[in-house]
Structure 1
Amino acid sequence: MTSSSTRITSCLLAAAIAMSISPLAFAGNPHAPLRAVAAAGTSGDQASVDRFIVRYRPGTLQASDSQRAVGAVRAALQQSGLVGASSAASVRHVRKTASGADVVKLSRPLDRVASAALMRRLAADPAVAHVEPDLRAFHTGNEILRAPTPAALPTATPDDEYYASHQWHLHHPTGGMGAPAAWNQATGEGVVVAVLDTGVVAHDDLDGSVLEGYDFITDAFVSRRDSDERVPGAHDYGDWNDDPTQCDVTPSSFHGTHVSGTVAEQTGNGLGMAGVAHDAKVLPIRVLGRCGGYTSDIADAIVWASGGSVDGVPANENPAEVVNLSLGGNRACEANSEYQLAIDQAIANGTTVVAAAGNYNVDMSQFSPASCAGVIAVGATRITGGKANYSNFGDGVDLSAPGGGGQVDGNPNGYVWQNINDSATSPEEGQQNYGGMAGTSMAAPHVAGVVALVQGIATTPLTPAAIETLLKDTAREFPVSIPSSTPLGVGILDAAAAVAGVVPPCEGDDCEPPIEATPIVNRSPVGGLMGDEGEALLFSIDVPAGASNLNFLSYSGSGDVSMLVSFNAEPMPDAADFRSTRPGNNERIGIAAPKTGTYYVKLLGVKKFERVTLEARHN
């Protein structure tokens, strides 16, 4: 049953609306009155900051000693004039991140001016490679309307009761994403989709699609758990806040449950609604709670989701083929930022990263993690196929997907519909339900779900770069004009075309075997390479759309190597797109305008070589 009073639902990146209807499994009247509430997007523009991420250069004392790392921050506070020379500034070491950076926490928050001064001082330290604030994302909301009772619901195929009447975003010929035709070929079976969000709550229409997951929040206030430790499971305790000194007062959103439903809500079970890749498994990872979530926690979760190692957390037994990030904040993604390094590692692990473009109706270049290199950034469209008025835009948006137009398109056509809990606080105070939300948060999991459909039928998993190319090549044109001042990518996600675009496996004697190469990551040197005369070492790097100035470099060590590079093929001595054959180990190949896809680089021993370093860099 619906709660006795209307409430505000605050959804991270759900820009406009959340509505709920009585749970079909329990309500005596399945057509009870709907209600609508609004929710704004996140903000990374915090008034004060008390946590920072500091990455020290390899080989420095600070990089290997947490006490020295803390001491360097304390010294920078004093040198910046933020504390007196005689004052014992309180700086606490929180932990190491997956990238090897140190998260430190100050005893009191610094305002924008003071935090900028501290970061300038730290950046001037020769031992410091990078420093950034460990920001949290916030969300706010306000009620906008109470909707009328809907008409009787028709029977549909699939037989989920609200599929035909409410889930336009899956099947509408103009604004939908073509799911039914795709389901004839693919359902996501065997694929894992990581949803980094508020966690999940129990729901009969989702439980069978959800793996155990993990809670990555390292702040007890944010998590509502009794410690700062990370723990197994991804239970959503509720993200409501009633303390205005911490962040805006908001009710719980159960945003992660709704997003997970878009990816893999159970389908064809006669209950509720349908999910895009309903035979895939959702790996829920809790990174958002009360007053949002820290950059450092989200970045570590990205690494772990893709199968990477994170200190203090057991190995992920279910690495994800795709990560969904319906979250973010107002800060541009820098080349050496914690987000970018985590995304680079995920891509090197073969994981596609999908992120919401944001809900401020501004250029997404100042929004992270969507503006990070290698991410598939998703804008939001309405049932008309036009731009949702809240959606961020810009050249960085790769493509768009249904996010809902909110009140302007009415009920139910203004919202993306999936499962939720109807409590304003903890899930134990409410019950399982279904709700409509609007935002780029809702658009992104449609894309993540289609990635699962594609990977589920691909004989050999597609690389993240190949997935991005496929989705963009098969996107359909916008049915209405999108102003050139607010670009939303190449078009609208088309699930059926993407599935049809998966190249069938090659069969027969003429087929080439797959290329076996060691993946490398942008701006991450690989050292200690060695081999005999005539021996070859083969590496690969996925280059995202929009990259420029791709450079391959080898250096240091002893002996003599040559470098060969080819696009989408193994370079051979007599067949390579590029080559560098200088005496010694200092080789360099530069490509000003690289193609989107996989480049292969081979080091060939002219003489025996040892301790050689290889690096690939692109902007």
Structure 2
Amino acid sequence: MALGASAMAAADARAVGGAPTAQDPSARIADLATAGIARRHARFVVRYRDGSAEAGDARAAQRGVDSALARSGLALPGKAGGLRIAPLRRTATGAHVLRASRGLDPVEAGRFLAQLRADPAVERAVVDRLLAHAGLAVEAAAAPSPDDPDFAELQWHLHGYAGGVHATEAWHRADGAGITVAVLDTGITRHPDLDANMLEGYDFITDPVLSRRDGAERVPGGWDLGTWNDDPALCELSYSSWHGTHVAGTVAQATGNGIGLAGTAPRAKVLPMRVLGRCGFGYDSDIADAIVWASGDSVAGVPDNPDPAEVINLSLAGLHPCEPGSEMQLAIDAAVANGSAVVVAAGNSAWRQDVAGVTPAGCANVIAVGATNPEGDIAYYSNVGAGIDLSAPGGDIVYDVFSFVWQASHDSLEGPVEGGASYAGMMGTSMAAPHVAGVAALVQSVAATPLTPAQLEDLLVATARPFPYPVRIPPSWPIGVGIVDAGAAVSAVLDPPCVPAEPCARPLLPMPVFDRQPAAGLEATAGDALLFALEVPAGTRALSLATHGGTGDADLLVSFGAPPDADTARLRSRRPGTNAETLRVMRPRAGTWFIRVQAAQSYRGVTLDVRH
């Protein structure tokens, strides 16, 4: 039996399987802080063992740092942009403070620290963490990181500044409780990090070849029986992906339970629905019926769904247009009419397929999601097009397996009975969509009145975080307005007067800037600003800051220890009608200086230079 072009497939890359453990150093990275300026790490603290050459010889210590940097792969030509890590000072207790020539994201920092710790001369090596004042802004503060042991190390997609969804900035106010998210996928497996949040689902596959069940009837449970294939007449020979388990984990993996990893909406419930079977394939008609049933409508031959879903996640795609009047479009229309928001993966094509030719991403009334990498840039595989509403972390091969999205999985190559619960890194727009579905669940769980699917889409789009500087998504590769932002979305629904139809205010978060490394191509609309943070070492004689080039009118505002206010900043340069602003501070205090490039009028193409 050959499957035709109407079949749907989940075609994401499974990167690494197995549970990361403390005994497996390849599956863990450093203990990194999840808070701090832009979650980029430019400073590290290393303590050398007593009696080692490095403890008393600066040149030996530098050779050790250079060797660790080389082993990490970050110093390879073309990969690190001339990255250099050198001693900054000694601490009062004898440790060495190192400073990088640019900020390292958590993945890069983890790789460097892992190699540094492998040096027998090193007793301890950590990120030089940032602390903040313990003031009264309790409600506005993000929740502490959960105690899931691999959250900080592996889940950049939830907490990373540049590419993550900023889930920790939402969890102190919303957790998804009371909301059901239907995951239409390969089904799920039993997993200690998932079971508490799983409802009894349903298997909607009616083809015995795909389902691996006797008969064509639909059955309760939604269990993944494996997608492996040993018949080349059907598709390529392959092992099981456990795709649905991974997607369900991204939506609502148990969080704060002291094991494994975390989910986007930690207390939401997942309704697992099996619509993809052998080869990862499923038919339009079965998927369409499952969409209708998930939203609460009746489907012949199946008992009514006792847990209608407020959100439906479709991490699947077929390379055929979604035609008006098709079963898929009609099913989506019915679900939306029933109040279910339908979140859809844009699909994966290295040749940048336009979602207008993809089902269901090209259907009307869906929230179509593109994929980004840890840097907030477009993932190499993501489909594109004007039909994409926004993007979310999908993983990439920017660095190594730690660039993937890590969630629950299973370790069997074929059926579930041969293996057990594990964790895996995967990448694809299939991984991006459930982040958006999870954020949608967070929003609905705290909305005074449930938002309609259209209102929810408007809010998620309005609160999406712009793709971070210096990322520039080419106009020919549109993947929506930005990256879904859990903190901003939850704040928008809880903090009036922000409403879904209007842009929502959110905190201005700083980006790192470094000595003699210009930040070019800056742009902002009138009234907005970009905020930068600069670490100034002790003993600096002068700090010089300047903006130049571009069009429009950018003002320069500077302060120490806290971001400057646009109206009350004491250090400012506001030359009207120009971007040639300059400030000079003699004998600046050591520590963090904040630089605000304020748009008196919209500006574009401006460069910020800092020197100390």
TM-score by length of 2: 0.60
Offset of residue 504 of structure 1: 6.0
Q: Is residue 14–residue 241 contact of structure 2 (8 Å, CA) maintained in 1? A: no
1:235-274 counterparts in 2 under 5 A? 235-274=223-262
Task: Letter of the 2:154 partner, please give it.
Answer: H
Counterpart for residue 399 of structure 1 = 390
Distance 1:493 1:425, change over 3 A: same
Q: In the alignment, what sits opposite 2:587? A: none
Kindly state the Cα deviation for residue 262 of structure 1 after the two structures are TM-superposed. Answer: 0.2
Match of 2:15 among 11, 18, 23: 18
CA contact (8 A) 1:21 1:435 kept: yes
Q: Deviations over 1:271-311 (max 9, x none)?
A: 00000001000000000000311110000000000001100
Structure 2: distance between partners of 1:356 and 1:452? 17
- Quote the Cα distance in structure 2 between the aligned partners of 1:373 and 1:30: 48
CA–CA separation in structure 2 for the residues paired with 1:12 and 1:305: 20
For residues 226 and 265 of structure 1, the distance between their equivalents in structure 2, rounded to whole angstroms, comes to 31
2:443 matched to which residue of 1? 454
Is the 8 Å Cα contact of residues 34 and 149 (structure 1) preserved in structure 2?
A: no
Corresponding position: 1:320 with 2:309? yes
The C-alpha deviation readout for 1:24-48, integer Å capped at 9, x for no partner, is 5xxxx5426559xxxxxxxxxxxxx
- What pairs with 1:134-149 in structure 2 (closer than 5 Å)? none
Alpha-carbon separation, structure 1, partners of 2:126 and 2:405 = 18
| Aligned match for 1:283, one of 271, 287, 305 | 271
Q: How does 1:432-471 map to 2 (within 5 A)?
A: 432-471=421-460
Q: How does 1:149-168 map to 2 (within 5 A)?
A: 157-168=145-156
Amino acid at match of 2:18: I
Give the alignment of 1:163-562 within 5 angstroms: 163-291=151-279, 292-360=281-349, 361-406=352-397, 408-412=398-402, 414-479=403-468, 480-503=471-494
Q: Distance in 2 between matches of 1:483 and 1:15?
A: 23
Kindly state the Cα deviation for residue 503 of structure 1 after the two structures are TM-superposed: 5.0
Provide the rounded CA distance (Å) in 1 between the counterparts of 2:19 and 2:394.
22
Q: What amino acid maps onto 1:472 in structure 2?
A: V
3-state SS of 2:391 partner: strand
Deviation at 1:428, TM superposition (A): 1.3
The one-letter amino acid of 1:247's match is C
In 2, Cα distance between equivalents of 1:247 and 1:221: 12
Q: Cα distance, 1:409 vs. partner?
A: 2.4
Write the letter of the residue equivalent to 1:425: E
Identity of aligned residues (%): 59
Shift, 1:171, TM fit = 0.4
1:312-342, Cα deviation, whole Å (9 max, x unpaired): 0000000000000000110110110010000
Deviations 1:423-453 (A, max 9, x none): 1101111211011000000000000000100
Where structure 1 has 5 or more consecutive residues not aligned to the other structure, the ranges are: 1-10, 36-146, 507-619
When residues 16 and 148 of structure 1 are mapped into structure 2, their CA distance, relative to the original with a 3 A threshold, is farther
Distance 1:347 1:238 in 2: 30
Question: Any idea what SS the aligned residue of 2:170 has?
Answer: helix
Query: Counterparts of 1:443 and 1:492 in 2: how far apart (Å)?
Result: 10
For 2:480 and 2:251, locate their aligned partners in 1 and report how far apart those are by CA, in whole Å: 21
CA offsets per residue over residues 104-141 of structure 1, 9 Å max, x none?
xxxxxxxxxxxxxxxxxxxxxxxxxxxxxxxxxxxxxx
Check the 8 A contact 1:365/1:371 in 2, yes or no: yes
Query: Aligned letter for 2:302?
Result: V
CA distance in 2, matches of 1:258, 1:465: 27
Distance 1:234 1:154, change over 3 A: farther
- Give 1:150 shift: 6.9
* Structure 2 letter corresponding to 1:374: N
* AA of the residue aligned to 2:161: P
Name the CA distance, whole Å, in 2 between partners of 1:149 and 1:420.
Answer: 28
Secondary structure in structure 2 of the residue aligned to 1:304: helix
Structure 2 Cα separation of the partners of residues 450 and 384 of structure 1: 20
Show the counterpart of 1:104.
none
Unaligned runs of 5+ in 2: 1-7, 29-110, 118-124, 128-143, 498-612
Amino acid corresponding to residue 182 of structure 1 in structure 2: A
Paired residues of 2:9 and 2:282 also in contact (CA < 8 A): no
Q: CA deviation at 1:13?
A: 3.8
Q: 2 CA distance for matches of 1:309 and 1:150? A: 54
8 Å contact kept, 1:343–1:353: yes
Contact 2:13 2:427 in 1 (8 A): yes
Q: How many residues are paired up?
A: 379
> In structure 2, what is the Cα distance between the partners aligned to 1:429 and 1:441?
25
Shift of 1:21: 3.2
In the superposition, relative to structure 1, how do residues 17 and 344 fare at CA in structure 2: closer, same or farther (>3 Å)? Answer: same
318 and 482 in structure 1: CA distance in 2 versus 1, 3 angstrom threshold? same
Aligned ranges 1:107-118 → 2 under 5 Å: none
Q: Aligned pair in 2 of structure 1 residues 469, 349: CA closer, same or farther (>3 Å)? A: same
Once residues 367 and 490 of structure 1 are traced to their aligned partners in structure 2, the CA distance between those partners, rounded to angstroms, is: 20
Question: For the residues of structure 1 that align with 2:488 and 2:245, how far apart are their CA atoms?
Answer: 28
1:15/1:250 Cα in 2 relative to 1: closer, same or farther (>3 Å)? same
Aligned amino acid, residue 498 of structure 1: A
Q: How many angstroms does 1:248 deviate by?
A: 1.6
Q: What is the CA distance between 1:411 and its match in structure 2?
A: 2.7
Distance 2:112 2:245 in 1: 25
SS at 1:312's partner residue?
Answer: coil
Query: What is the CA–CA distance in structure 2 between the aligned matches of 1:453 and 1:14, rounded to whole Å?
Result: 27
Q: Is the 8 A contact 1:190 1:456 kept in 2?
A: yes
Tell me if structure 1 keeps the 8 A contact 2:178–2:445.
Answer: yes
- Partners of 2:20 and 2:27 within 8 A in 1: no
For the structure 1 residues 154 and 18, does the alpha-carbon distance in structure 2 shift closer, same or farther, using more than 3 Å as the test? farther
- Once the two structures are superposed, the pairs formed by residues 543-582 of structure 1 within 5 Å of their partners are none
Q: Separation in 2 of the partners of 1:433 and 1:368?
A: 31
Question: What is the CA–CA distance in structure 1 between the aligned matches of 2:489 and 2:126, rounded to whole Å?
Answer: 29
Hey, what's the Cα distance between the residues in 2 that align with 1:420 and 1:215?
19
Q: CA deviation at 1:348?
A: 0.3
| CA displacement at 1:149 relative to structure 2 | 13
Give the TM-score normalised by structure 1: 0.59
Contact 1:264 1:279 in 2 (8 A): yes
Corresponding residue for 2:62?
Answer: none
- Give the CA deviation at 1:154: 9.2
- Quick one: structure 1 residues 149 and 262, their matched pair in 2 at CA, closer, same or farther if it must change by over 3 Å? farther
Is 1:31 aligned with 2:31?
Answer: no
State the distance in 2 between where 1:282 and 1:450 align: 14
Deviation at 1:220, TM superposition (A): 1.1
**What secondary structure is seen at the aligned counterpart in 1 of 2:333?**
helix
SS in 1 for 2:408: strand
Give SS of 1:471's match: helix
* Residues 198 and 287 in structure 1, CA contact (< 8 A), matched pair in contact too: yes
Maintained 8 Å contact 1:239/1:253: yes
The DSSP-based 3-state class of the residue aligned with 1:359 is coil
Verify the 8 A CA contact 1:33 1:148 in the aligned structure 2.
Answer: no
CA distance in 2 between partners of 1:401 and 1:296 (Å): 28
Which amino acid in structure 2 is aligned with residue 436 of structure 1?
Answer: G
